[in-house]
Structure 1
């Protein structure tokens, strides 16, 4: 499941880090406490529209640009089956070619492979999922993303 506050926080953090600025610098410029800005970036708090505009101004970004980026991310998530809906435990079943859904104690794990790359999704909780991709050749690195 994708939370809007999480996507907004990720977008703000990416912009701030892209500018090589600290939380303290941005929080001072936006006139918001450092702790609250940190909670916004981690997706724990939802900023008001006024606060979001102040943070964008401090980052030198337009609010519309940030919201467009957030909208594009949510639109992409909507195209992935099961991302916007909580995953329920279910018996193991075969899905589309190369996809297997396995029931686990923590949620459904979906594994997809095309022969060269394998991708698995594990629902850790209703608000957290882990995506892992790995190459079939053992010498290649795994990539893990958690949301």
Structure 2
């Protein structure tokens, strides 16, 4: 299951960082505390529609654009069967066992869709998995950005 607040937070952070702006700048423009905005971006708090609109306004983005991006990310996650299932169910010596992530010691599953999108899922805990998707692009093309969501 994808947590909507995590996907929203990731989309807001990506937009802010894409503009090379600090949390302080955006929190001031949106009239929200820096700490609360940080919690929203990390997916720890779920913003109200009014607050989300104020943050989007501070970022110069339309709320509909952000919600469309969030919707596309959730739809993409739903279309990949098995990506969000626990990745450590296989025995370690199994040929289909997920490789272990060095930093967390948890399993990581890689999935690639038609050569243009690379997806990895990491089981962070029994109740949390992180899904990272990235468009596969030439080294010279830097217009796309990675999208990360966690459930």
TM-score, L = length of structure 1: 0.67
SS state at 2:97 partner:
strand
- Residue 101 of structure 1, CA deviation: 3.5
Residue number in structure 2 paired with 1:87: 86
TM-score, L = length of structure 2: 0.66
- Residue 102 of structure 1, CA deviation: 2.5
User: After superposition, what is the alpha-carbon deviation per residue over 1:17-42, rounded to whole angstroms, capped at 9, x for unaligned?
Assistant: 11111111110111100000000001
- Residue 91 of structure 1, CA deviation: 4.4
Residue number in structure 1 paired with 2:43: 43
Residue number in structure 1 paired with 2:54: 54
- Residue 83 of structure 1, CA deviation: 3.6
Residue number in structure 2 paired with 1:77: 77
Whole-Å separation in 1 of the counterparts to 2:56 and 2:38: 15
User: After superposition, what is the alpha-carbon deviation per residue over 1:80-134, rounded to whole angstroms, capped at 9, x for unaligned?
Assistant: 12345x5275345xxxxxxx53389x87654669xxxxx8644231213476xxx
Of 122-131 and 35-44, the range deviating more from structure 2: 122-131
Whole-Å separation in 2 of the counterparts to 1:101 and 1:77: 21
| Structure with the higher fraction of residues in strand conformation | 1
Change in Cα spacing, 1:111 to 1:8, as seen in structure 2 (3 Å) is closer
In the alignment of these two chains, the number of paired residues is 123
Give ranges in structure 2 of 5+ residues lacking alignment. Answer: 100-104, 113-118, 133-147
Alignment of 1:64 onto 2:52 = no
Whole-Å separation in 2 of the counterparts to 1:3 and 1:57: 23
| More contact order relative to length (CA 8 Å, sep ≥ 6) | 2
